């Protein structure tokens, strides 16, 4: 077996500058989970089909299982652990709780990150826009109904807050 | 929307608090099976069979053992050979093949190494010699005369025969004069149906971390639907005493029946024992699809006799389940699931047969969806031929309390009629069918089960409470336990901490299956609370200086004549001086789980040029008995429905001729995505179950039973074509439209 | 395996020539899982996204230049680009989820040489040209000449696509891409159909029809295009005979396979359906834009 090359990566994760050493063939997801101990992002498939590993990279939603860890160099990464502001939950986190948008909870981190990316860009999405924006995130428990409603409610709250 | 029979008014039951474990789950703190890492931990990889059926002539692990980072290798030789009659024989055989591999993906060796990549490389370097054996992939092949044996160890259950057989079970049921009823019938409809293998599709792959210490005791961290079963199965497979195994339940990322059995834990335990290090195994999605689950594929022939005024006079049916490589009760359960209509004359045979495919696992109302698809489709066709409203036809024949189940015993109080009426009276059903769409209805039910549960309730010094159970929280059950405890004790639900404890910290609790957690474990919680209240009253009597029988418990306080109410917190504060800590453990083997019926209604559009079916509107009415936390009852209804829609339209295992699954990924195993579905409207029907203190019926499973027929019935009304094969994927729909 | 992220095309070319067995990538959405599964196992992966030219989108002198590694989300969000090539933009917007579209690229979609690649038929229908880094210099070929079969391309070892060029469409032009998938999202196309046509004097003056997922590579269907050229648009739409001729020609041009995603018969049939539907959408756009 060939020796694995390792790269020293420096980036921002949830507002903190961090650095870690990762094998070049490691995914960003494995680096976040194993090197940085941020296990909020989950591996549901490892092929970019379920979205449980979703993180924001420079403000845009990505499957961290589809990125080589060294690609994170110099980027600004936000995981589910970083979307609350201190003790103040993000409106999406609050509406997911109040709207019972999670059952088992394994997909929840990915949905929250994807929904945040959507609302950051489109503060007033239609139901159809929400459904297509979240189509890269699989949930097997809820049938999506309560997730979509919770995103709608968070959008209303966020629009109210910025008005 | 809720339709409720008369019942007591509750303060907490029926409210919608934020679930107690919710915060951890929205901030990324909740720890699932793959989220634990221990110091010095090794990673394991499993070598899986590339063949559908083969004798293992030799396994050479020497090259793998010498590879970088490798610390331990195990094969079946590292596990005791269990007798064929041992209840865990099939589990043991499935998680490590001995002498033969029975399906593509069957585990036959495992490697623990410093990194996952090293373990995978070493597993790939294990050399295996196989002698290929005939592969049996379908029910027809399995049941054909002279079919090759799928699994030499299989005996037909309940047959008394010791001859190896491909048949798992044969369950005949008969009552009345079926032949006579068909002769007298005004109308007979007969159809054949088939359904594909489908997977539970939980988003969390199976994973565990196991640490076996030098004392020989195993610490297991894993997600499952029942950690006591993980303990018992692991101990049985290893040949250990149960006391050597402790299982701590991780949060579970979906199960739907698929996590009621084990695949990894004894393997990790043996690797840990051999290496002296903690061992972590995580399955890939590919492994999950190839080697766990799925639900059986099926075929059915259903013939129903009716009179011109819509009385269903007889059913004559055969249903077969292809259950994979080991014996399974799918056929037996399938036979029981035909019980929604009175059918004075009934003849039914349910059969399960083995195939060289993964050992099937329970999937939400196991075996019922396949049977309901067939029967509810035929009933819809009768309604069409009689030009009768499909709800009216069902109302005319629906079972009520006292009517016989398929097995002949009488139904208890059930809410099928109420669900039919709820859909009939719903906004959806009363609205005009939009142009370009068509409407279908279907129904289904699930028996539910009780089984054993334990609960410990501790009252804390300040009047808060800890409710400890052994039922993993799959979809909000902690909140339900807390709500029932709050109702009993009369304290705020947020002053209760519901805990799912490990196997050494709570009494034995059966696996979460059969929609039993809120029903049976909830009953244990209620019983513990009631015993605590008795103790509280006694303590209050001491404090107040009155006789114990002069104290009542009202709204969280002890009440006695001429005394100020004594709130719970004032009693717990004096626990030390009145007899010590207030804690009660209750345990039970619950009976009386009430069946939960559901009726569904949907509008679909069919693209007649591509065969694509789009579900545009969906409403489900289901009897919950009493909804403890209505949001999570709705969630179960909606989730089951979504899984049923996936089963109906696109989900299927695609095998090649050698039994290799060709679509083992979430890209090609197509579970519904958000944009595939409409909102799923819910009507909770509450016909309280008399056997539960709050009237609870399990609600987890029923939702998946009606959707396939509901959609097929809508497609039939949209196109005039009857879809009898699942999934109703676009090519199949187009082919049926061509044949109109 | 080593990871490298060159900053210039020259640097990338040097890395590739110095390291045989290297593999370039843009979004890596296919490459990361492939490497995890052990195929391929390149000695080095070369990340092209850090080269400014490969992620630049410009419109100058009647020509669009699209960096080959530009995330497809940047194209679908680019209003001017989407107005010029609505069909290509919608095709780019169908490559997987939002997560994928923030990584996937026209260059990767083409160079992966999947017969089902969503952006390729529309890129070909719009006569896209690929500028290829080759040796120490560049060469330019039609995008239609890159893929030669499933997973195979005409790119030599060490070559990679730098950018695509697209001429401004003539007035009265519209394009459209439709695909058939069993779900609404997240699937690989069973059939894809791109149509571009130009309308002058209420009739089609030029047309191109390109199908995906029905042959080893995306295929142009001249017979379907010929059925459109000259067709008049009375009251806005094509007559049934024209649409039937387009559909028949598209179905006849298919050379598909049976696989887990679709059958030969189904693909042939639906290729015709999508070709005629895409033609109708393209015509509507051509008229509305004109």
DSSP string, B181-237: HHHH-SEEEEEEEEE--B----SS--EEEEEE-TTS-EEEEE--S-HHHHHHHHHHH
- Among all residues of chain A, which has the CA nearest to that of C32? A66
CA-wise closest residue to B689 among B624, B637, B735: B624
Q: What mean pLDDT do residues C21-37 have?
A: 91
The full set of domain ranges for chain A reads 6-82, 91-162
Q: Test B731 with C262 for CB contact under 8 angstroms.
A: yes
Q: What is the pLDDT of residue A2?
A: 46
Which residues in chain B are closer than 8 Å to A34, comparing Cβ atoms?
Answer: 37
Residue B244 above 80 pLDDT?
A: yes
User: Are the CB atoms for C176 and C207 separated by under 8 Å?
Assistant: no
Task: Say whether C183 and B734 touch across the interface (CB within 8 A).
Answer: no
pLDDT digits (tens, 9 = 90+) for B267-290: 999 999 999 999 999 999 999 999
The reply to whether residue A128 touches residue B675, judged by beta carbons under 8 angstroms, is yes
Instruction: Give the tens place of pLDDT for each residue, B189-223.
Output: 999 999 999 999 999 999 999 999 999 999 999 99
- Top-tier CATH class for B2-13+450-590: alpha beta
Nearest Cα neighbor of B350 from B333, B331, B366, B337 is B331
Is A2 buried (19+), middle (13-18) or exposed (0-12) by CB count in 10 A?
A: exposed
Write the class of the CATH domain A91-162: mainly alpha
The upper half-sphere exposure of residue A115, i.e. CA atoms within 13 Å in the direction of its Cβ, equals 34
C-alpha span between C252 and B568 (Å, rounded): 81
**CATH number of this structure's domain B411-448+594-738:** 3.30.365.10
Q: What domains, with CATH codes, occur in chain C?
A: 2-167 (3.30.465.10), 173-289 (3.30.390.50)
pLDDT tops 90 at residue B240: yes
Among chain A residues, the shortest Cα distance to C31 is held by A66
Residue A25 at interface with chain C, using a CB cutoff of 8 Å:
yes
> Which one of A140, A146, A148, A154 would you mutate to disrupt binding with B, by most B Cβ within 10 Å of its Cβ?
A140
Alpha carbon of C74: minimum distance to chain B alpha carbons (Å)? 22
What local confidence, expressed as pLDDT, does residue A5 receive? Answer: 87
Residue B595 has pLDDT above 80, yes or no: yes
Facing A68 at nearest CB: one of C32, C99, C184: C32
Q: Which phi and psi (to 5°) does residue A70 adopt?
A: -65, -20
Are A71 and C185 in contact (CB < 8 Å)?
A: no
User: Are B204 and A106 in contact (CB < 8 Å)?
Assistant: yes
**B662, B670, B734: residue with CB nearest C183:** B670
The percentage of residues in chain B with a pLDDT greater than 90, rounded to a whole number, is 94
Phi, psi at B2, each rounded to 5°: -130, 135
Instruction: Compute the mean pLDDT over every residue in chain A, rounded to the nearest whole number.
Output: 95
pLDDT at B1: 63
Looking at the DSSP bridge assignments, the partners of residue B320 are B299, B351
Cα distance between residue A133 and residue B211, in whole Å: 42
Cα of B494 vs its chain's centroid, Å: 29
Cα distance between residue A63 and residue A56, in whole Å:
9
* DSSP string for B300-323: EEEEEEE-TTS-EEEEEEEEEEE-
B34 contact residues in A (CB cutoff 8 A): 39, 42-43
Q: Are B173 and B346 in contact (CB under 8 A)?
A: yes
pLDDT for B80-117, tens place per residue?
999 998 999 999 999 999 999 999 999 999 999 999 99
pLDDT at B524 over 50: yes
Q: Do B22 and A97 touch (CB under 8 A)?
A: yes
Q: How many whole angstroms separate alpha carbon B621 and alpha carbon B210?
A: 43
Q: Which of A98, A107, A134 sits opposite B18 (nearest CB)?
A: A98
Decide: B425 and B582 in contact? Cβ < 8 Å: no
Listing from the earlier edge strand, what are the strands of the sheet with B557-559?
A: B552-554, B557-559, B566-567
Mutate to test the interface with B, among A25, A32, A100, A136 (most CBs of B within 10 A): A100
Under DSSP, is residue B439 helix (H, G, I), strand (E, B) or coil?
strand
Q: Which chains touch B (3 or more CB pairs under 8 A)?
A: A, C
Q: Do B205 and A84 touch (CB under 8 A)?
A: no
Q: Name which of A32, A84, A93, A104 to mutate to probe chain B: the one with the most chain B Cβ atoms within 10 A of its Cβ.
A: A104
A42 to B674: CB separation less than 8 angstroms, yes or no = no
User: Does the pLDDT value for residue C205 go beyond 90?
Assistant: yes
CB contact under 8 A, A61 and C45: no
Q: Which helix (H) or strand (E) holds B2?
A: strand B2-4
CATH 3.30.365.10 occupies which residues in chain B?
A: 2-13+450-590, 411-448+594-738
Asked if residue A1 has pLDDT above 70, the reply is no
Chain A residues whose beta carbon lies within 8 Å of the beta carbon of residue C35: 25
Strand pairing partners for B347?
B174, B316
> Comparing C-alpha atoms, which of B495, B493, B494, B483 is closest to residue B459?
B495
Query: What span, in angstroms and rounded, lies between the C-alpha atoms of B259 and B206?
Result: 8
Residue B324 has pLDDT above 70, yes or no: yes
Contact state of C97 with A71 under an 8 Å Cβ cutoff: no
Q: What value does the mean pLDDT take over residues C210-237?
A: 94
Cross-chain Cβ contact A68/C36 below 8 Å: no
* Residues of chain B above pLDDT 70, percent: 100
pLDDT reading at C174 higher than 70: yes
Say how many C-beta atoms besides its own lie within 10 A of residue C66's C-beta: 29
The residue-averaged pLDDT of B555-568 equals 96
The B-side interface with C (CB below 8 A) comprises: 120, 124, 609-612, 649-650, 654, 662-663, 667-668, 670, 672-673, 675-676, 729-731, 734
Q: Is A51 helix (H, G, I), strand (E, B) or coil?
A: coil
Write the CA distances from B468 to A18, B27, B65, B505, B587, integer angstroms. 39, 24, 44, 9, 12
The whole-number average pLDDT for the span C249-265 is: 92
Nearest to A104 among B34, B474, B672 (CB): B474
Cα separation, B319 vs B304, whole angstroms: 14
Contact C276, C243 (CB under 8 A): yes
Which residue of C38, C184, C265 is in closest CB contact with B673?
C184
Q: What percent of chain A has pLDDT over 70?
A: 97
Whether C229 and chain A come into contact, CB under 8 Å, resolves to: no
Answer for the pair B706, B599: CB distance below 8 angstroms, yes or no.
yes
Q: Is B130 helix (H, G, I), strand (E, B) or coil?
A: strand
CA distance B79 to chain C (A): 29
Q: What is the pLDDT of residue A3?
A: 59
Report yes or no on whether pTM surpasses 0.90: yes
pLDDT above 90 for A162: no
To the nearest whole Å, the CA of C97 is away from the closest chain A CA by 5
Put simply, the answer to whether B662 touches C270 (Cβ < 8 Å) is: no
Query: Which CATH superfamily groups domain A6-82?
Result: Beta-grasp domain (3.10.20.30)
Whether C5 has its CB under 8 Å from any CB of chain A: the answer is yes
Nearest C-alpha of chain B: how many angstroms from C289?
Answer: 29
Is B140's pLDDT higher than 60?
Answer: yes
Please determine, for residue B436, whether its predicted confidence score (pLDDT) is greater than 60: yes
- The answer, yes or no, to whether residue B707 has pLDDT greater than 50, is yes
Minimum Cα–Cα distance from A23: chain B residue: B117
Tokens of C21: 């067995």
Residue C290 confidence (pLDDT)? 44
Which positions in chain C touch A27 (Cβ < 8 Å)?
32, 36
Give the HSE-up count for residue A120: Cα atoms under 13 Å, Cβ half-sphere.
13
Tell me: the pLDDT tens digits for B448-474? 999 999 999 999 999 999 999 999 999
H runs (alpha helix) in C115-238: 119-125, 222-228
**pLDDT reported for residue B470:** 97
Chains that touch A (3 or more CB pairs under 8 A): B, C
Average pLDDT over chain B, rounded to whole?
96
Partner-chain contact C266 B609, CB within 8 Å: no
pLDDT value of residue A163: 59
Mean pLDDT (whole number) for B160-174? 94
Whether pLDDT at B398 is above 70: yes
């Amino acid at each position: 077996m060939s020796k694995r090359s390792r790269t020293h990566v420096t980036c921002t994760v949830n507002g903190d500058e961090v650095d870690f050493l990762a094998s070049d063939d490691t995914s960003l997801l494995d680096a976040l989970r194993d090197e940085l101990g941020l296990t909020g992002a989950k591996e549901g498939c490892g092929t970019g089909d379920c979205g449980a590993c979703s993180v924001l990279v420079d403000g845009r939603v990505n499957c961290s299982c589809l990125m080589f860890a060294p690609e994170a160099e110099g980027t600004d990464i936000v995981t589910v652990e970083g979307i609350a502001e201190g003790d103040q939950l993000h409106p999406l986190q609050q509406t997911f709780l109040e709207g019972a948008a999670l059952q088992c909870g394994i997909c929840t981190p990915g949905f929250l990150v994807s929904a945040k990316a959507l609302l950051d860009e489109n503060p007033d999405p239609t139901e159809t826009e929400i459904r297509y924006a979240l189509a890269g995130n699989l949930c097997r428990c809820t049938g999506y109904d309560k997730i979509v409603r919770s995103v709608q409610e968070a959008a209303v709250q966020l629009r109210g807050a910025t008005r | 929307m809720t339709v409720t029979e008369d019942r007591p008014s509750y303060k907490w039951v029926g409210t919608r608090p934020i679930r107690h474990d919710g915060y951890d789950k929205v901030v990324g703190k909740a720890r699932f099976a793959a989220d634990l890492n221990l110091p010095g931990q090794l990673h394991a990889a499993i070598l899986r069979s590339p063949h559908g059926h083969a004798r293992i002539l030799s396994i050479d692990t020497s090259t793998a053992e010498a590879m970088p980072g490798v610390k331990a290798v195990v094969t079946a030789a590292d596990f005791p050979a269990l007798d064929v009659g041992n209840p865990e024989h099939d589990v043991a055989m499935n998680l490590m093949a001995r002498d033969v591999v029975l399906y593509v993906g069957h585990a036959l060796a495992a490697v623990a190494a410093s990194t996952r990549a090293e373990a995978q490389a070493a597993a790939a370097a294990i050399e295996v010699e196989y002698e290929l054996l005939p592969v049996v992939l379908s029910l027809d092949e399995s049941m054909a005369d002279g079919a090759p044996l799928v699994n030499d160890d299989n005996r037909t259950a309940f047959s008394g025969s010791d001859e190896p057989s491909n048949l798992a079970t044969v369950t005949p049921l008969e009552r009345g004069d079926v032949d006579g009823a068909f002769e007298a019938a005004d109308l007979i409809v007969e159809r054949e149906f088939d359904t594909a293998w489908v997977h539970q599709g939980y988003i969390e792959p199976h994973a565990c971390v196991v640490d076996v210490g030098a004392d020989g005791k195993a610490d297991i961290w894993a997600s499952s639907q029942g950690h006591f079963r993980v303990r018992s199965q692991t101990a049985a497979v290893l040949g250990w005493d149960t006391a050597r195994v402790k299982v701590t339940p991780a949060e579970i990322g979906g199960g739907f029946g698929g996590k009621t059995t084990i695949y990894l834990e004894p393997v990790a335990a043996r690797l840990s024992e051999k290496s002296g290090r903690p061992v972590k195994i995580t399955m890939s999605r590919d492994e999950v699809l190839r080697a766990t689950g799925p639900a059986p594929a099926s075929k059915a022939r259903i013939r129903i006799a009716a009179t011109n005024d819509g009385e269903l006079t007889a059913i004559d049916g055969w249903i077969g389940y292809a259950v994979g490589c080991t014996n399974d009760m799918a056929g037996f359960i399938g036979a029981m699931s035909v019980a929604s209509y009175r059918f004075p004359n009934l003849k039914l045979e349910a059969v399960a047969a083995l195939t060289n495919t993964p050992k099937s696992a329970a999937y939400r109302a196991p075996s019922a969806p396949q049977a309901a698809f067939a029967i509810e489709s035929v009933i819809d066709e009768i309604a069409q031929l009689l030009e009768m409203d499909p709800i009216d036809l069902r109302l005319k024949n629906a079972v009520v309390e006292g009517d016989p189940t398929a097995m002949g015993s009488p139904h208890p109080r059930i809410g099928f009629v109420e669900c039919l009426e709820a859909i009939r009276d719903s906004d959806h059903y009363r609205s005009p069918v939009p142009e370009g769409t068509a409407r279908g209805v279907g129904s289904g039910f699930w028996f539910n089960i009780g089984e054993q549960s334990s609960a410990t309730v501790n009252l804390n010094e300040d009047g808060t409470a800890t409710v400890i159970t052994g039922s993993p929280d799959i979809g909000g059950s902690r909140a339900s336990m807390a709500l029932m405890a709050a109702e009993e004790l009369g304290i705020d639900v947020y002053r209760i901490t519901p805990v799912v404890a490990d196997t050494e910290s709570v009494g034995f609790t059966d696996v979460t299956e059969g929609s039993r957690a809120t029903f049976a474990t909830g009953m244990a919680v209620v019983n513990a609370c009631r015993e605590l209240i008795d103790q509280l009253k006694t303590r209050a009597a001491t404090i107040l200086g009155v006789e114990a029988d002069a104290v009542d418990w009202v709204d969280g306080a002890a009440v006695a004549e001429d005394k100020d109410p004594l709130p719970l917190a004032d009693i717990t504060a004096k626990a030390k001086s009145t007899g010590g800590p207030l804690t009660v453990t209750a345990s039970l083997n619950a009976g009386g789980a009430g069946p939960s019926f559901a009726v569904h209604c949907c509008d679909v559009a069919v693209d007649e040029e591509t065969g694509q079916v789009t579900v545009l509107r969906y409403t489900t009415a289901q009897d919950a008995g009493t909804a403890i936390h209505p949001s999570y009852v709705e969630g179960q209804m909606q989730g089951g429905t979504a899984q049923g829609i996936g089963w109906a339209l696109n989900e299927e295992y695609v095998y090649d001729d050698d039994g290799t699954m060709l679509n083992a990924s979430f890209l090609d195993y197509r579970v519904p995505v958000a944009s595939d579905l409409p909102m799923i409207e819910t009507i909770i029907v509450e016909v309280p179950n008399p056997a539960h203190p709050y009237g609870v019926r399990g609600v987890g499973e029923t939702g998946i039973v009606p959707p396939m027929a509901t959609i097929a019935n809508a497609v039939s009304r949209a196109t005039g074509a009857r879809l009898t094969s699942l999934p109703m994927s676009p090519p199949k729909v187009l082919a049926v439209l061509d044949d109109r | 395996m080593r990871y490298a992220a060159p900053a210039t095309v020259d640097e990338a070319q040097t890395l590739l020539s110095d390291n045989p067995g290297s593999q370039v990538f843009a979004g890596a959405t296919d490459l990361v899982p492939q490497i995890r599964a052990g195929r391929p196992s390149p000695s080095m992966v070369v990340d092209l996204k850090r080269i400014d030219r490969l992620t630049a989108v410009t419109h100058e002198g009647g020509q669009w230049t699209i960096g080959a590694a530009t995330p497809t989300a940047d194209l679908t969000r680019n209003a001017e680009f989407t107005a010029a090539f609505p069909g290509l933009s919608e095709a780019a917007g169908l490559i997987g989820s939002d997560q994928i579209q923030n990584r996937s690229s026209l260059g990767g979609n083409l160079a992966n040489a999947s017969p089902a690649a969503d952006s390729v038929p529309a890129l070909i229908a719009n006569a896209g040209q690929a500028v290829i880094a080759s040796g120490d210099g560049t060469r330019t070929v039609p995008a239609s000449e890159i893929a030669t079969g499933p997973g195979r391309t005409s790119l030599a070892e060490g070559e990679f696509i730098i950018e695509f060029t697209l001429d401004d469409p003539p007035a009265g032009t519209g394009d459209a891409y439709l695909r058939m998938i069993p779900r609404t999202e997240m699937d690989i196309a069973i059939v894809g159909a791109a149509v571009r046509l130009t309308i002058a004097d209420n009739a089609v003056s030029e047309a191109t029809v390109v199908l995906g997922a029905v042959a080893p590579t995306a295929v142009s269907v001249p017979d379907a295009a010929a059925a459109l050229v000259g067709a008049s648009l009375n009251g806005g739409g094509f007559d049934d005979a024209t649409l039937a001729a387009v559909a028949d020609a598209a179905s006849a041009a298919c050379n598909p396979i049976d696989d887990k995603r679709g059958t030969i018969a189904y693909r042939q049939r639906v290729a015709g359906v999508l070709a005629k539907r895409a033609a109708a959408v393209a015509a509507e756009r051509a008229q509305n834009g004109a």
